[in-house]
Amino acid sequence: MKETLAAFQNFLLESEGLNLEIAREAIENEGYEYVENGNVLKILDDNRQDALDKLTPILYRMGFVHNPLIGGSLGRLEIKDRTRGNVYVLFKPKSRARAATAGIDFEDRLATEISNMGMEATTAGYGHGSDLTITGAKQTITVEAKTALSADFGQFRVQYATKEGTWQPRRTQQYVKNEHIFTPLFNELLKKYLNTYCIIPIGDHRLNQDQKGKVFGLKASLTTGDLKRELQAEWFDGKTDFKVPFDFSRIASYYADKGDQYIQIGSRGLYALTPEAASNLDVPLFADSGLSAYIRFRLKPSVSENSSTSFTAAIKIKGRLGASPLSLTNPADVEKLKQLLA
């Protein structure tokens, strides 16, 4: 009996910490940087979703599961095992270069490069006004800066105001900056549909509701995905979203009304928002690019189906954008711009 007990105790000593070793090896094999604190491993990577997607199937085979309720917006991978050890794997950003700040970083980089070429360039950051204001020897131009055409051409969250009994945009920092675009699109294309067909199940404990009675999404829970599917079936007639097309030329008009003369789309180049601006720098009109636009409303999970979920509207652009002959990402073109503004 004593020999059996001693053998079992030795087994426990040898087994303890095995899950931690397994998690370490999986993370290191994928080349991720991480910080270890006891039985918690924090992976540091700016593309957290990609890291989660890669490690989930690997660690699932070892008994780990995804817990969407704990560990931040992505949840965490975890294993609870009294013999081989409890282990928790979290996913944290390594630097500032994340989606939320990618646009600001793009503006800052353009402003720095333009300033280094001998012109004055200022950014609006999260404030109102044009993303970039560029001043040459004799002229000043204003520019809206977008990292890419493929990304959402602006998105905002909506909420249901229980006291007023109506849907409305949620006034986040991103919404306030672009409300000249978002407000008319919401009022014209979404509001009537949402108030007619998107009925909130008031009282459901899985609703995310603030102190003012605004329902702005679903909480993370083990059945959030079930509620999401139920609402999709009721709201979208069996589809997963609601889409409404609108005239693409309105996009250019919104920015022009805000005071922008040009728009820079990633590395595709600089486009004019008014005919006068097109003539001034001899660049194509954005409104004549042949693109189409639509607004999409959906229930958007932060990570997995049971994670916190927002009510999100996004402006989407379809089509292929031809390259402009002038781009603020090209030093030779910036030098050309300097001459044109002199």
Q: Give the separation between CA 208 and CA 91, rounded to whole angstroms.
A: 23
Q: Are 121 and 114 in contact (CB under 8 A)?
A: yes
pLDDT in tens for each of the 342 residues of the chain? 555 445 444 443 344 568 998 999 889 888 888 888 889 999 998 778 878 888 999 999 999 999 988 887 788 999 999 888 999 999 988 764 455 566 778 899 999 999 999 999 998 866 667 889 999 999 999 999 988 775 557 789 999 999 999 999 999 887 887 888 899 999 999 999 999 999 999 999 999 999 999 999 999 899 999 999 999 999 999 899 999 999 998 888 888 888 899 999 988 999 999 999 999 999 999 999 999 999 999 999 887 788 889 999 999 888 888 999 999 999 999 999 999 998
Q: How far apart are CA 9 and CA 29, in angstroms?
A: 31
CA dist 188 → 66, 171, 245 (Å): 40, 18, 11
Whole-structure pTM value: 0.66
